[in-house]
Structure 1
Amino acid sequence: MVEQALEHLELELRQSAARMPADVLWELMAERRRAVSAGATSAHDDFYDDNGLPI
């Protein structure tokens, strides 16, 4: 049983080492997105005046 757990751990480590950095980034972004409440936006309108200039 311990041997199987170690083999499983080794396989997971090998697979995670083979991932591309972009894959890790996508996973982190997806994880963070799940934490954002529904209806939230990424608009930054409150930082700009009616002419589009920074306040």
Structure 2
Amino acid sequence: MYSAKESIVVTNGTFTEDAAAWGSVHGIHLIDRAMLVSWSEKADHLYQLVALDIPT
């Protein structure tokens, strides 16, 4: 609908196995609580968190 190049779903909890599988099939990056904690502790850029190429 918006011509997004990437889709990301964020939760402060966890994803079920079914949700993780569905996201994987559809190319959706899932960020759960553990990734949020890692992100905040390491101050990584979002591109590093979900292993995306940095746009040029």
TM-score relative to the length of structure 1 = 0.23
Question: Bigger radius of gyration, 1 or 2?
Answer: 1
Structure number with the higher helix fraction is 1
Asked which structure has the greater RCO (Cα within 8 Å, sep 6+), the reply is 2
TM-score relative to the length of structure 2 = 0.23
Structure number with the higher strand fraction is 2
